[in-house]
Structure 1
């Protein structure tokens, strides 16, 4: 789990752009979709000077950038679209929390995309930023991924209403695709929590407690990622009353309200799962306590049985010459038999009292 570092955040000033993410081996690539209800065109491996040649202001334009390593390319993109440097800094600084901002003629939205890592209890994180200006949607991804593959296919085959809508609707379905990753991650965590609950009922291995704490951290991380998303989606409602600049059409606010509702559902489910995880933790400690009590009970019973035997052995171990049974021919057998009767009597008594 990545943590915010004060020094790193302080270093990222608008005049000194720097990518702070971990996907530094991925090359920057641009992809452009130009579409409307009648046609769609797709362009790969673009340069900034290609944008004028292919972009059509009379149609919808989606420009997607994979990889944030090429700072000069991002600066050039910012100059072309007249994007302020502090927005570019927020795009490159992956320690920033999810937020939405409406500035002049720009709607800016960034979000964390979470997915489980195969054969691991960790979660992989990628920051994705969106920017709408002059009807153009620009998306910034840290690396090439398959989050939006189905959306690209919908554009190509004219599935649904996406090609008949503006850039704000495209932003909605892109955000919806990212939120699906939250559901996938949460479902994966729930499966592992269910396994832990079953394990905690069968074993008291300390490794179970370590896994419980790990998944507790994962749920906290999920919650910290979704709460600012919920706030951002709620803040979009305020844009509806903004008479200066409306990047979202009035009839499309309903779609963003659905996303807000999904974020509430996710948070409720996380709270429920954390309660289940807390129950698993309590059950584990209860099992540990019960096991310890059983051990102490066994040791106490053994000690109680040996107390009278130790007393008898101590009496006959005294070095007095005139012990009454010292010269008795069957003294040893008698004492051993008596000690055996004491042991059996105490065991029967303990059994009757259900002490073991």
Structure 2
């Protein structure tokens, strides 16, 4: 599906489909936003080439698993990043690759699934951003990062509860929860490692197109970088906390298992010599002299008692019990 938003120099706002593209190019008036959602790849490529997009940029934009990046072409800037289709307080996230082409008078967004940030700005009454394609691209990314940041900040209370639970009553259920969170945070770290690099690149090597069309773009880029860096650092911190809690639980479980095994080992050590003595005098041989001692039973039982008590005292001195 192809949607277009045409904002003329006089402020007239027109929404439509592909037919507005030809009208806009003929008139040369105003600015145009083309939003391409789940379009046929061949038709999408033809349209992008017709809009003077560089073939290499088109190829990057159509790759399904291309990592986020930014690249400058003649009179055009390409930004690839991961937008959000769903994100909740449990850090369940569904991402959609988004390609943004920004030029002086045209802005093109491409995505294969619903994008909350693009939908938000498309429906925003302040359509004057269409006149600032470079700033519009930054604002779309800024909105996505803001949603990530809100969810990650809300997760702080959850991670605190998990820390308390691991200290008070650690169990396998909390362990499974931590492992699932660690997996989601790893994914978030990977995504924002890319996003932070994009924002840093745009900030340090701001494209001439951005500066030429929006002199104050540096402030928006700085804000975008700060947000990306904060989400990345928070995700990294929470990821490490989850890892520390998991390792702590495993250490605690290992310690409890060691204590159990130590008790069982002590019990075994006490009863091995007693079992040995009982085994000797339980053999069915006629020629065992001790069998004919009048108080032999009581002597052997006393000896076994002394051995057991002696080993018990020894293990207590060694603090094995």
In 1, are the aligned partners of 2:96 and 2:114 still within 8 Å (CA)?
A: no
Identify unmatched segments of 5+ residues in structure 2. Answer: none
Q: Secondary structure at the match of 1:221?
A: helix
In 2, are the aligned partners of 1:114 and 1:185 still within 8 Å (CA)?
A: no
Equivalent-residue separation in structure 1 for 2:23 and 2:93 (angstroms): 40
The yes-or-no answer on 1:86 pairing with 2:52 is no
Identify unmatched segments of 5+ residues in structure 1. Answer: 1-28
Q: Secondary structure at the match of 1:107?
A: strand
In 2, are the aligned partners of 1:65 and 1:141 still within 8 Å (CA)?
A: yes
Q: Secondary structure at the match of 2:231?
A: helix
Q: 2:217 aligns with which of 252, 274, 284?
A: 252
Q: 2:73 aligns with which of 86, 90, 103?
A: 103
In 2, are the aligned partners of 1:112 and 1:125 still within 8 Å (CA)?
A: yes
Q: Secondary structure at the match of 2:116?
A: coil
The yes-or-no answer on 1:234 pairing with 2:200 is yes
In 2, are the aligned partners of 1:100 and 1:107 still within 8 Å (CA)?
A: yes
Q: Secondary structure at the match of 2:65?
A: coil
Task: Give the TM-score normalised by structure 1.
Answer: 0.72
**Partner in structure 2 of residue 262 of structure 1:** 227
**Partner in structure 2 of residue 312 of structure 1:** 277
**Partner in structure 1 of residue 251 of structure 2:** 286
User: CA offsets, 1:39-95, max 9 Å, x none?
Assistant: 563524x1x333233687544432211114x12431332243111222111111022
* CA distance 1:115–1:259, change in 2 (3 Å): same
**Partner in structure 1 of residue 37 of structure 2:** 66
Equivalent-residue separation in structure 2 for 1:192 and 1:230 (angstroms): 25
Residue 127 of structure 1 and its aligned partner are, at CA, apart by 0.6
Residue 170 of structure 1 and its aligned partner are, at CA, apart by 1.8
Equivalent-residue separation in structure 2 for 1:91 and 1:247 (angstroms): 24
The yes-or-no answer on 1:143 pairing with 2:143 is no
Q: Secondary structure at the match of 1:267?
A: helix
Please identify, of 48-57 and 264-273, the stretch whose mean Cα deviation from structure 2 is larger.
Answer: 48-57
Task: Give the TM-score normalised by structure 2.
Answer: 0.79
Q: Between Structure 1 and Structure 2, how many residues are aligned?
A: 318
Residue 302 of structure 1 and its aligned partner are, at CA, apart by 0.8
User: CA offsets, 1:304-337, max 9 Å, x none?
Assistant: 2203422431343353645346353x75466556
Q: 1:75 aligns with which of 32, 45, 63?
A: 45
In 1, are the aligned partners of 2:178 and 2:242 still within 8 Å (CA)?
A: no
Equivalent-residue separation in structure 2 for 1:37 and 1:277 (angstroms): 53
**Partner in structure 2 of residue 208 of structure 1:** 175
User: CA offsets, 1:172-202, max 9 Å, x none?
Assistant: 2111112124325645776776676566554
Equivalent-residue separation in structure 2 for 1:98 and 1:131 (angstroms): 14
Equivalent-residue separation in structure 1 for 2:145 and 2:151 (angstroms): 10
* CA distance 1:36–1:280, change in 2 (3 Å): farther
Residue 251 of structure 1 and its aligned partner are, at CA, apart by 1.3
Residue 145 of structure 1 and its aligned partner are, at CA, apart by 3.6
Q: 2:6 aligns with which of 6, 10, 34?
A: 34
Please identify, of 201-210 and 226-235, the stretch whose mean Cα deviation from structure 2 is larger.
Answer: 201-210
Please identify, of 214-223 and 343-352, the stretch whose mean Cα deviation from structure 2 is larger.
Answer: 343-352
User: CA offsets, 1:96-152, max 9 Å, x none?
Assistant: 121112211111111112566679876422111111123221111112343334333
